[in-house]
Amino acid sequence: MFPGQGAQRLGMGQELFARFSNQVEQADDILGYSVAQLCLEGPIEKLSQTQFTQPALYVVNSLKYLSSLEDGEARPGILLGHSVAEYVALFAAGVLDFGSGLRLVAKRGGLMAEARGGGMAAVLGLEADVIEDLIQTKNLTDIFPANYNTPKQIVVSGRKDAIVEAEAIFLAAGASYYKVLPVSGAFHTPFMQVAKERFAELARGVDFCVQQIPVLSNVTARPHVDADIRARMIEQITAPVRWSESLRYLMAKGVAFSDTVELGPDGPPVVRPMFKRTELEAGPLDLAQLVAEEVAEKATDTAAEAPQQEATIILKTSTPATDGPLRLEVTRLNGVVSAPGRITVENLGSRGFCDTFGVRYPYVSGSMYQGIASTELVVRMARAGLLGFFGAAGLQTDAVKTAISMIKAGISDGAPFGVNFIAHVNRPYLEDELTDLLLEEGVTIIEASAFMEVTSALVRYRAKGLRRENGVVRASNRIIAKISRPDVAAQFLAAAPEKLIASLLKSGGITTDEADMLRCVPMADAICVESDSGGHTDQGMPFALVPPVLKLRDQAQEQFGSFGPIFVGSAGGIGTAEAAAAVFILGADFIVTGSINQCTVEAGTSEAVKDLLESINVYDTAYAPSGEMFELGSKVQVLKKGVFFPARAEKLVGIYRQHDSLDQIDPKLRSQLEDRYFRRSFDDVFAEVARSYAASEVERAERLPKHRMALVFKRYFKDTTNWALAGDMDYKVDFQVHCGPAQGAFNQSAVGTAFQSWRQRHADEIGLALLEETASLLNRRFSVMTR
């Protein structure tokens, strides 16, 4: 199987271009530009334009096929390609030579790029017959089904205005998701008739040879007939892509998921997962009907020679009937052949969550402060179709702005990513600054963390992304609220507080219309229940926390029924398939990992920290005072193996509680603290503090000796973090590394695998592997329980 448009990514084909220099040189001559430079250097905005995407994918997919043959892989028994990638399948089958296929694809992409006034939308949750019936009964004459990707994942196409206006109709009919896609043409519909005619002029001059390997047609979902290939490929421009039916045809012929291979750009598969999805949603075509269809086709082909010939079809199984011909035993559910149910990665958690946040799987990498959840980590996740949050906490606004720009430059338009939005109880102006930046940069997903109550800045961010569509309020700016208490979850599952709405109205922060819309939606699209995690934690247990939050969610869902689904996820302690399986069984729609991503190649911390983390077990973490809020007794979970930080932090807090000023500390103890903890005098520390704090804060410290002591001691906590991030080995024993026991659990599970060394750990690969093992584990467990 070859993936089509949407599978492109910057850097694709890197290992192929030098290996197949003759084909690359031929491609450059045909296209008039360097395809290798486009794929490797972009920019991604250009690579994502249809006229460039289609030929680039043709080249990369074709070279990928050639490399598989050179590497000794078996030749396939059947080929298929999604939409434009059908040309790759025809090349692989010997129907088209490399250059002819590329010329056709370049022409096709150019014509599609010229299309204007059209649009497409992805519809999830409705079967094809329902969509087709809606189009007919609602008289949607300007809309057509375009891509039947899976039985319940269908793309409609047509006049742009009609596509936009039809959202309410499809949602009212039960669609779980409707998203207008960023295209300008009504592809795979009669609106492309002119493009089809212009394309036919080129296609008539191209030789289409006999298939050496059967190729499934997108138009018919059956193997191509050699004499009709040219006509089918011309027709493909206006005909819908019958991908799911093609997959069901394969299933009926006995093809299993394990028999399939996807060849395309390196990275997570795109079309192969549709096989599993189709298997779950419908299963194979009716074998009896398929056999009858094929016999009828053969009878038609020979009708002129033997018009009176009769055909008898005997369907055999391994179990003979008591009399008469053998019968075909078929298990049916709602009239559809169904395969034995197995849990797959595709049906873990909530597909609605995936659709809402634009991701492939319900797996999220959480934000780790001060950029430990780095731009590289977020980009890597986004390119894999997974959601990652940048660790903005503790960074200046300018640094966050730079990070957002770097992330955008590294991913394709529409790829998922988010930014952490941490609470600032004592400095709310920082929340306002971040809100201004997020709105300015168009960041549409945030992770709200450490909030004990909804704040004005969060309400303003939510308000600026609200819009009305056919009388229903929709949210463009999405919030995932990380909580560890049901009472806090309840605030995010409610509408914005009236007092905050009133205050923002008075200050001009929101409009009257935005205020009205705020009353119609919950503050969050998703709640992430945070259990025993690294960093700030309430040491909660998911088994106690998730159920009551699910109940609150269900109540909110009833209150805001027209808004759309609200999701509940789980974080904290998830480092193994067993932990992930447990929270999915509890009812989590998605999972969030944290600690395990800190020990990856992409994490924005030092190699020294990663070396430490790679060696820990589940008992090698401890709770220590929080540097920002130790006066209140707040705790963070940190690494304790190989460092003194937890013990020294506790000692500083104890000294703070026992003394009213630095001068009251015993001289010998003071000298010990200055020499071993701070490596400089208290006076020097305060001088540094005074340069970084506001004048009012410094003046307060001058008046209040206890506060001066707090500021000095807090500097130790800041220094220990910076030393760890920088990997300053002179201060290794003082490293402050936020980490939970999930890291130790992951390390134990990684022994003897490719992930044993952190230098082989990549955040996206860890996530995908964790999901695969979770599905496998659940199948094994349920198999045992249902014997």
Catalytic residue numbers read 83, 188
Asked if residues 314 and 556 have their Cβ atoms less than 8 Å apart, the reply is no
How many whole angstroms separate alpha carbon 572 and alpha carbon 201?
Answer: 60
Q: Retrieve residue 94's tokens.
A: 């010997």
Strand residue runs (E) in 627-719: 635-639
CA–CA separation, 582 vs 66, rounded Å? 43
Q: Using an 8 Å Cβ cutoff, are 98 and 91 in contact?
A: yes
- Which residues make Cβ contacts (< 8 Å) with residue 629, sequence separation at least 6? none
Q: Which residues pair with 638 in a beta bridge?
A: 622, 738
DSSP state of 79: B
β-sheet bridge partners, residue 213: none
Q: Minimal CA–CA distance to 539: which of 579, 586, 573?
A: 573
Angle at 690 between CA 737 and CA 393, to 5 degrees: 35
Hey, what are 562's tokens? Answer: 């027209």
What amino acid is encoded at 225 in this protein? Answer: V
The alpha carbon torsion through 569, 571, 573, 574 (nearest 10 deg) reads: 60
Tokens of 207: 């030789």
* 509, burial (CB in 10 Å: exposed 0-12, middle 13-18, buried 19+): buried
Residue 739, strand partner residues: none
The 3-class SS string of 498-529 reads HHHHHHHHHHCCCCHHHHHHHCCCCCCCEEEE
- CA distances (Å), 436 to each of 18, 509, 514, 703, in order? 46, 11, 17, 35
Query: What are the backbone angles phi and psi of residue 439, rounded to the nearest 5°?
Result: -70, -40
What backbone torsions phi and psi does residue 530 show, to the nearest 5 degrees? -95, 120
Sign for the CA dihedral angle at 751, 754, 760, 764 comes to negative
Please answer whether residues 355 and 179 qualify as being in contact, where contact means their C-beta atoms are separated by less than 8 angstroms: yes
Q: Which residue has the tokens 């930014």?
A: 419
**Per-position DSSP letters for 148-215, written without gaps between them:** EEETTEEEEEEEHHHHHHTHHHHHHTT-SEEEEES-SS-TTSGGGHHHHHHHHHHHTTS-----SS-B
